[in-house]
Amino acid sequence: MALHNILTSSGDWMRGDGPHHQIVVSSRVRLARNLRNFAFPGWAKKNERLQILETIKPQVELLPEMSDAFSVYSQDLSALEKQVLVERHLISREHAAKGMGSAVVMNRRQTLSIMINEEDHLRMQAIRSGLQLKSVFKMIDKVDSLLEERLDFAFSPQLGYLTACPTNVGTGMRASAMVHLPALVMSEQINQVIQAVNKIGLAVRGLYGEGTEALGNLFQVSNQTTLGEKEEDIIARLHKVIEQIIEHEQNARQLLLQKKPNTLLDHIGRGYGILQHAYSMNSKEALNLLSFMKLGIDLGFFPEPCRQPVDELFMETQPAHLQKGTAQKLAADERDSLRAEIIRAKLGAFPKPSVGTPGPDQAAGNP
């Protein structure tokens, strides 16, 4: 299957129909595995890396789930194509920097993606919409079990699966959920939540993982530790914490509606106005304003059919997605104009937010 087909169809996980999909955008689980008796990719010489690649790739392609897969060597992907895959969370930023000696295989539905010779020989990930960590784990666990029948993984009875980085040793598993938390950000409770989550050994990161900003009020919550705990227990713990975060976000939304309706509506109204009338917009501004639109839909200020176009725009306004339809590379200001144009076209027919007549914000301390 050609990459073109993958890029024109949106992945299953972007459809936004999983449980708790209003707040939980997606659930993801990745496993790190290495072959026994080979150096890790970062240390292996080029010939060894190629040998590893040619050992693993055919086995991955044989998986039943990969019967109609897109499979490609890293050097055969253009920088733009790689960036599109990064924006879809199908490859990591680190993998996008790889050339000869690496590859990626992904299924047609874009729920399963296997990177070969990233930081580890194998990085396999499953991703689905909404909060469904358990079923996502089951899916990737099955893939792992099938592969280990044919590949001899580096494993120590004491330390578990051996990985290039000691932070991944043991289960080699990183489970994460992407959550949309505009009300917690607006009510300035987000740092408290992040600190509480950090305290129990889970990490909170921005939209694109390690060291990235939390754009569009989107956060990734994931397990930090991989040794000394069973996979199922890690998943269950993370699931519980995400449920609590959902509850906090919902409470924060209700509180804003009651106590500060004008502040809330101001954000949503401005988002609506600017998105509909702007002629130049960078991706950061777009994500942040789209976040308020999404919140407005969740709260019923816009009719439900508005949801899908807004969800799609989160992806379509990313720099590489924006350029995949254009013949040549665009300069930053050209991208900003194109982005504004796409948004205007999509949101042009949106009705005004139906807000009724909200009362004034309650001033603190007043009866």
Partner 1 sequence: MNCDVCQTNQATVFLTQIVDGKMQKVNLCEACSKEKGVTDPTGFALADLLLGLGAAQEMERGGTVQKCPTCGFTQADFKKTGRLGCGACYQTFSDGLAALLKGMHKGTEHIGKVPARALQSIERETQMRSLQRDLRKAVAAEDYESAAQLRDQLKQFDVR
Q: Answer yes or no whether residue 157 interacts with partner 1 by CB under 8 A.
A: yes
For residues 34 and 119, give the distance between their C-alpha atoms in angstroms, rounded to a whole number. Answer: 10
100-108, 210-218, 286-294, 300-308 -> range binding partner 1 (CB under 8 A): 210-218
Query: Binding residues for partner 1, how many (CB under 8 A)?
Result: 55
Q: Answer yes or no whether residue 229 interacts with partner 1 by CB under 8 A.
A: yes
Q: Answer yes or no whether residue 162 interacts with partner 1 by CB under 8 A.
A: yes
Q: CB of 358: closest distance to partner 1 in angstroms?
A: 31
| CB-based contacts of 82, cutoff 8 Å, min separation 6 | 74, 91, 95, 96
Pick 196 or 257: Cβ nearer partner 1 = 196
Contacts with partner 1, 251-270, as mask; x by CB under 8 A:
--------------------
For residues 303 and 309, give the distance between their C-alpha atoms in angstroms, rounded to a whole number. Answer: 12
Q: CB of 291: closest distance to partner 1 in angstroms?
A: 15
Q: Answer yes or no whether residue 125 interacts with partner 1 by CB under 8 A.
A: no
Q: CB of 202: closest distance to partner 1 in angstroms?
A: 10
Q: Answer yes or no whether residue 366 interacts with partner 1 by CB under 8 A.
A: no
Report CA-CA distances (Å) from 46 to 50, 60, 93, 216, 260.
Answer: 6, 21, 21, 40, 60
Task: Return the SS3 of 111.
Answer: coil
Q: Which of 15, 20, 39, 50 binds partner 1 (CB under 8 A)?
A: 39
AA identity, residue 91:
I
Element (H, E) at 271: helix 261-277
CA atoms within 13 A on the CB side of 274: 19
Q: Which of 3, 72, 80, 169 binds partner 1 (CB under 8 A)?
A: 169
Q: CB of 158: closest distance to partner 1 in angstroms?
A: 6
Q: Answer yes or no whether residue 192 interacts with partner 1 by CB under 8 A.
A: no
Q: Which of 166, 300, 303, 358 binds partner 1 (CB under 8 A)?
A: 166
Q: Which residue has the tokens 């999509």?
A: 346
Q: CB of 227: closest distance to partner 1 in angstroms?
A: 4
Q: CB of 230: closest distance to partner 1 in angstroms?
A: 5
Q: Answer yes or no whether residue 200 interacts with partner 1 by CB under 8 A.
A: no
Query: Which ranges of 167-260 would DSSP assign to H, the alpha helix?
Result: 182-186, 190-199, 231-259
Pick 64 or 157: Cβ nearer partner 1 = 157
Q: Which of 224, 262, 282, 337 binds partner 1 (CB under 8 A)?
A: 224
Q: Answer yes or no whether residue 118 interacts with partner 1 by CB under 8 A.
A: no
Task: Return the SS3 of 302.
Answer: coil
Instruction: Name beta bridge partners: 160.
Output: 156
Q: How far is CA 63 from the centre of its chain?
A: 24
Q: Answer yes or no whether residue 216 interacts with partner 1 by CB under 8 A.
A: no
Residues 54-93 that bind partner 1 (CB under 8 A): none
Q: Answer yes or no whether residue 196 interacts with partner 1 by CB under 8 A.
A: no
Name the token pair of 360.
Answer: 């004034």
Contact 295, 183 (CB under 8 A): yes
Long-range contacts of 57-62 (CB under 8 A, 24+ apart): 57/103, 57/105, 57/116, 59/147, 59/150, 59/151, 60/105, 60/114, 60/116, 60/147, 61/105, 62/150
DSSP 367: -
State the residues that interact with partner 1 by CB under 8 A. 34, 36-40, 42-43, 119, 141, 144-145, 148-149, 152-162, 164-167, 169-171, 173, 190-191, 194, 201, 203-206, 210-214, 219, 224-231
